[in-house]
Structure 1
Amino acid sequence: MIRGLVLLNSGNIEDYLPDLYEWSHTETEKEQHTCRPISELPPYNNYKENVLKRLENGLLIYILVDRTNTNKRIGKIQLFDYSSRNKSAEIGYYLPLRHRKQGYANVLLELFLNTMFERKDLELNKIYATVAACNQTSIKLLEKFHFKLEGTYREHYWFSDGSICNQYHYSLLKREYVSLSEKKIEAIE
């Protein structure tokens, strides 16, 4: 299976956005994926308009596709809150339930990190992610890629069932990523 990342833009939005919209519409565990307010999904045209505005303002959304299966959409990862001054940005990733536990998250994150740290226009030094302390799957993914725990936001996730969870803040520096990439190459040789 040949997998690749496709950057969402105004030219291909009609090809990919319906899948992203459907994923948002059918996801039943939204509270587990973000500490941000969860609002009702707007009608598709409003959703599209919002995404286009956010793309214009620097949001980067990449979609993982299976190129051998008519570009089957597998998941997405996005870069946001980019700071040119601090050379940093936050990431968020998502796989629909039907694509979880199949190794796709590893492929998605690896391709994305390669792409982001190579982009000359961003000059990223640090990529960071926040995750609920109770989301062990996401924590394991970040740690597998050598993201370091920077801190804890105490009682930051409040769930509708009344439970509360801390939020962890992870980051990966470009020099750490480059060092790991070089070690991988040495191990292959």
Structure 2
Amino acid sequence: MIRGLVPLNSGNIEDYLPDLYDWSLTESEKEQHTCRPIIELPPYNNYKENVLKRLANGQLIYILVDKSNSNKRIGKIQLFDYNSRNKSAEIGYYLPLKHRKQGYANVLLELFIDTIFERKDLELNKIYATVAACNQASIKLLEKFHFKLEGAYREHYWFSDGSICDQYHYSLLKREYASLAEKEIEGN
């Protein structure tokens, strides 16, 4: 299976956005993926307008596709809250339920990190992610790629079932990632 990342843009939005919209419509565990308020998904045309505005304002969205299977959409990863002064940005990733626990998240994050730290226009020094302390799969993924735990917001996720958990903040510095890549090359 040949997998690749496709950047979402105004030229290909009609090819990829319907899948992203459908993922949002059918996701049954929305509150597990964000601490932000869960809002009702707007009609598709409004959703598209919002995504186009975010893209125009510098948000980057990449789609993981299976190139050997008609560019089947597998998941997405995005870079947002880019801070040019501090050379940092937050990342968020998502796989629909049918694509979880198959190794796709590893592929998605590896391709993205390789891509994003190489972009000369961003000059990123740090990427960071937030995750619910009870989301062990996401924590394991970030730690596998050597993201470091920076801290926690206590009792930051409140779930509809009445449970509460902290939010963890993880980050990866470009020099840390470069050092890991060098070690991998030396090891081969």
TM-score normalised per structure 1: 0.99
- Runs of 4+ in structure 1 over 4 Å off: none
C-alpha displacement at 1:162, in angstroms? 1.3
The equivalent residue for 1:161 is 161
Distance 1:149 1:155 in 2: 17
Separation of aligned partners in 1, 2:186 and 2:145: 17
Matched letter for residue 48 of structure 2: K
Q: What is the alpha-carbon distance in structure 1 between the residues aligned to residue 96 and residue 187 of structure 2?
A: 33
- Partner of residue 63, structure 2: 63
The answer as to 2:179 corresponding to 1:179 is yes
Gaps of 5+ in 1: none
Distance in 2, Cα, partners of 1:6 & 1:127: 19
- Any stretches of 5+ residues in structure 2 without a counterpart? none
CA shift, 1:163, in A, is 1.0
Residue 30 of structure 2: aligned partner: 30
Q: Does 1:141 align with 2:131?
A: no
Map of 1:40-59 to 2, 5 A cutoff? 40-59=40-59
- One-letter code of the match for 2:79? L
Taking structure 2 as the reference length, the TM-score comes to: 0.99
Q: d(CA) in 2 for partners of 1:178 and 1:54?
A: 29
In 2: Cα distance, 1:79 partner to 1:114 partner: 13
Larger mean CA deviation between 20-29 and 155-164 belongs to 155-164
Q: Distance in 1 between matches of 2:12 and 2:163?
A: 40
* Identical amino acids, percent of aligned pairs: 88
Q: Deviations over 1:122-141 (max 9, x none)?
A: 00000000000000000000
The letter of the residue matching 2:39 is: S
CA deviations on 1:24-77 (whole Å, 9 max, x unpaired) are: 000000000000111000000000000000100111000000000000000000
Q: Which amino acid aligns with 1:48?
A: K
Q: Distance in 2 between matches of 1:125 and 1:31?
A: 30
CA distance in 1, matches of 2:187, 2:2: 23
Question: In the alignment, which residue of structure 1 is the partner of 2:76?
Answer: 76
Could you say what the CA RMSD is over the residues aligned between the two structures, in angstroms?
0.4
Separation of aligned partners in 2, 1:36 and 1:21: 18
Instruction: Output the CA distance in 1 between the equivalents of 2:47 and 2:152.
Output: 32
3-state SS of the aligned residue for 1:20?
A: helix
Secondary structure at 2:35's aligned position in 1? coil
SS in structure 2 of the partner of residue 79 of structure 1: strand
Partner of 2:5: 5
What is the letter of the counterpart of residue 10 of structure 1?
A: S
Which amino acid is 1:175 matched to?
R
Question: Which amino acid letter does the alignment assign opposite residue 44 of structure 1?
Answer: Y
Corresponding letter in the other structure for 2:120? K
What aligned pairs does 1:48-127 form with structure 2 within 5 A after superposition? 48-127=48-127
